[in-house]
Amino acid sequence: MPRFPRKREWAALVALARRGGELNLGEAIDILRVDLCVTKRTARRIIKRLSRIGALALEKSDGEIMVKPVEPSVFLERLVNAYMAGRKRRCTLGGAEKAKSE
């Protein structure tokens, strides 16, 4: 399960998704620099973190790196489903009953 994004990462994902479609890396960095008021280096690192947790898809085409953001609602649903599946895997209600009987 990917880790839950921080506030700045959520803001970046919303800002990129609001533009819609694919953007090249330079456009995505410029959007984050203007909307979030961050440096170029910070914008690059935010994009790297978002791609690592699955919120962005980075694709190389024609010598350019294209950034394709996932819709925030779709990404949140994916996170929630992964969290609930993990909880169900760890949950053993039968184990709780055994502890009471002892």
Q: 12-34, pLDDT tens digit by residue?
A: 999 999 998 899 999 999 999 99
Task: Report angle CA 54, 78, 75 to the nearest 5 degrees.
Answer: 55
Cβ-based burial of 68 (10 A; exposed 0-12, middle 13-18, buried ≥19)? middle
Q: Domains (ranges, CATH) in the chain? A: 7-79 (1.10.10.10)
Task: Report angle CA 77, 81, 95 to the nearest 5 degrees.
Answer: 155
CA nearest neighbour of 44 among 62, 31, 63: 31
Q: 79-98, pLDDT tens digit by residue?
A: 999 989 988 888 876 555 55
The predicted pLDDT at position 1 comes to 59
The predicted pLDDT at position 92 comes to 72
